[in-house]
Amino acid sequence: MLVLGWGIVMDQSSLARFRAARERWARDVLGPALARQPERAPRFSTVSDLEIARLYGPDDLAGADPGLPGEYPFTRGIHPTMYRGRLWTMRMFAGYGTAEDTNARFHYLLAQGQTGLSVAFDMPTLMGYDSDHARALGEVGREGVAVDSVEDMDLLLRDVPLDRITTSMTINAPANVLLAMYVAVAASRGISPATIGGTIQADMLKEFIAQKEWIVPPRPSMKLIQDLLVYCTREVPRWNTISISGYHIREAGSTAVQELAFTLADGIAYVEAGIAAGLDVDAFAPRLSFFFDVHNDFFEEIAKFRAARRMWARIMRERFHARNPRSWMLRTHAQTAGVSLTAQQPMNNIVRTAIQALAAVLGGCQSLHTNSMDETYALPTEDAVTVALRTQQIIAHEAGVTHTVDPLGGAYAVEALTDRIEAEADAYIRKIDDMGGMLAAIERGYPMREIAEASYRYQQQLERGEKTVVGVNAFAQDEPSPIPLHAMDPDVERRQVERVRRVRAARDAAAAARARDALRRVTESGGNTMPAIVDAVRARVTLGEICQVFRDVYGEYREQAVL
Amino acid sequence: MVEPHVRILVAKPGLDGHDRGAKIVARALRDAGYEVIYTGLHQTPEMIVAAAVQEDVDAIGLSILSGAHNVLLPRITAMLHDQGAGDIKVFCGGIIPDADIPGLREAGIAAVFTPGTSLEQIVAWVRDNVKPRGVTA
């Protein structure tokens, strides 16, 4: 008997029979067919340029055992019943203008059946600047909501039941500050930090690699993340402390394999950081979560999610010796690929998003954001967001794909691709290990260079017509496709600038100064900054003022720009 | 080599970190034979104008995806004008709604490239529109 890697037992004679049949088929059926009608291209490959074979069969299944869902190594999903038990969380990323504007969008989305919140912050907030800072000019409330102080956070969360709704906050360099504000708002409503749930992105490694919103250099950035890990493990146990993100890596132009490999390598660095901070691996690893892109290439994406779960389970059990099965589970949010959307014929984006969302579901994601068709132009309109949310609801309730667990498990092509992506991502991780880990690799510019190469390669393939984007380099139309766009209130910046100045003027100046000094001292001494940040936000010290303490103590990061 | 003496500054104004487009365009221009200087991320209008003047460039390509284009781009062209460098050709690309294009053109942005533009189109535009400063075509 030959045990094929994935648990299907096939005896030697059946495999030999299959191989003989395949040879006969190639000779008698395939050969004449190709002679009559050659294939459309000499080579077929994914959007990431991974070559795809004509046909996969049982002899391609030499890889690892996908096992069963809900148990190690979780290739087939982290829950034994998957979506039969509970659907994924439909979580639409939203944020624009002032806190009141975004709060209104949140209530609209909750009324439409959304089940969790996800906050998009504006660029000055992401970079740790207050709305009245010179560098914030023209950016306030544009790509997300402006949050300068705990008062903005309170308005943002007005009438949101923080003990029942979980909130995801896409914030990295100033993550500790925004989490402190969230905790402070919950406390002011009598809700203990122990009962609130949510996610904070806090993944600085991928910022240096791809998203590029930073404040201080990589090493002090990791120290601040350690503070967050330790604080949440003790005080906010239901919070997902780091959302280890491949999304931005992929959007910056990486391949699917690079996205997976760099993300897991980042995860390895965070686990090492938590252990170095004195935490037991099983005390914090269950609260690490992931965030992947889901791009156009359907089977490549599904295989990527399946490989991700299996690889992380192995890493956690074999490399870090975690014993709690929850530490082995890769729980992930997914977002459809913004970069795949086209300005041309924007209605086509609804279809792209639907295909990508279906791949995320067949890949076994835990929560999902679907992009809106108009996002190559502006933040989405309410109508466009509604279609995007309905897309998820149609997949969940009409398509029938939720009725059975991992319906593509065992499909020769999907299993073979899963193995292939795992092997290639493993090779990248070994290379990064050899460099001394992801922090060292980033300092050498390695992942950034790999991504720039891949994105330039793809662009050239596109220009040569080797890759097709409908409506752009094929099936183009001359006439424009006008769609209504979300209009920004031009007055947002002025109102937000006034508000942060009002907050600074109205606060107890001495208490704010004391809180800032205390934060400076603990930052300088290397102690955990989180309690001092919570005290500071309560004393109405602003986001920009807190981040300035970090700039003063650690210095500002400047990237060595490489082409 | 095309116009080997033409120097182009590729710059990222504003706070957004989306540098995929800027880097691809910079590489394509370099591959087309131009001398390209890339500023890196998070540049203020002052920093971009100072770099353009100091490097004595013939054109500036601005990539912006943060939505701040209506505020930041006209400041750059106005500052170039004030510093006697108004003859530097400025072009831009990014997430820019069609409705904003006339205003940007009026502010002295010579071309606006929106998503889906091919590298070939950008290189062709530069070839046809950017000449070494001080040399009459």
pLDDT score of B135 more than 80: no
Fold of B7-129: Rossmann fold (3.40.50)
* pLDDT band, residue A62 (cuts 50/70/90): low
Q: How far is B41 from B37, CA to CA, in rounded Å?
A: 13
pLDDT score of A375 more than 60: yes
Average pLDDT over residues A17-26: 94
Q: What is the residue type of A305?
A: F
Report in angstroms the alpha-carbon separations of A54 from A295, A414, B98. 22, 13, 43
Choose among A127, A139, A456: nearest Cβ to B68: A139
Of A140, A371, A377, A455, which to mutate for an interface test with B (greatest number of B Cβ within 10 Å)? Answer: A377
State residue A386's pLDDT score.
Answer: 95
Answer yes or no: are the C-beta atoms of A86 and A134 closer than 8 Å: no
Lowest-pLDDT choice from A36-45, A96-105, A311-320, A477-486: A477-486
State residue A506's pLDDT score.
Answer: 98
Average pLDDT of chain A to the nearest whole number? 95
Chain B positions in Cβ-Cβ contact with residue A138 (cut-off 8 Å)? 14, 68, 70-72
Q: Is B102 on the interface with A (CB under 8 A)?
A: no
Answer yes or no: are the C-beta atoms of A501 and A477 closer than 8 Å: no
Which chain B residue has the Cα nearest residue A129?
B15
Higher local confidence (pLDDT), A80 or A10: A80
| This prediction's pTM | 0.95
Chain B: nearest CA to A153, how far in angstroms?
Answer: 22
Q: Please count the other Cβ atoms lying within 10 Å of the Cβ belonging to residue A346.
A: 21
Average pLDDT over residues A443-458: 96
Of B19, B62, B65, which to mutate for an interface test with A (greatest number of A Cβ within 10 Å)? Answer: B19
State whether residue A31 is helix, strand or coil: helix
Kindly state the percentage of chain A with pLDDT values over 90: 90
Q: How far is A128 from A548, CA to CA, in rounded Å?
A: 8
pLDDT score of A482 more than 90: no
Per-residue pLDDT of A525-555, as tens digits, reads 999 999 999 999 999 999 999 999 999 999 9
* pLDDT band, residue A3 (cuts 50/70/90): very low
Q: How far is A425 from A330, CA to CA, in rounded Å?
A: 16
Lowest-pLDDT choice from A86-100, A204-218, A398-412: A86-100
Chain A positions in Cβ-Cβ contact with residue B97 (cut-off 8 Å)? 377-378, 485
- Residue B123 has φ and ψ, to the nearest 5°, of -65, -40
> What is the helix (H) or strand (E) element at residue A369, kind and residue range?
strand A367-369
Q: Please count the other Cβ atoms lying within 10 Å of the Cβ belonging to residue A162.
A: 20
Per-residue pLDDT of B5-60, as tens digits, reads 899 999 999 999 999 999 999 999 999 999 999 999 999 999 999 999 999 999 99
* pLDDT band, residue A14 (cuts 50/70/90): confident
Q: How far is A374 from A483, CA to CA, in rounded Å?
A: 8
CA dihedral B107, B111, B116, B118 (to 10 degrees): -160
Average pLDDT over residues A370-379: 92
Structure tokens at A66: 């996908």
State residue A486's pLDDT score.
Answer: 85
Between chains, do B67 and A485 touch, taking CB under 8 Å as contact?
no
- Predicted ipTM? 0.89
State residue A5's pLDDT score.
Answer: 44
- Residue A29 has φ and ψ, to the nearest 5°, of -110, -55
pLDDT score of A446 more than 80: yes
> What is the helix (H) or strand (E) element at residue B64, kind and residue range?
strand B59-64
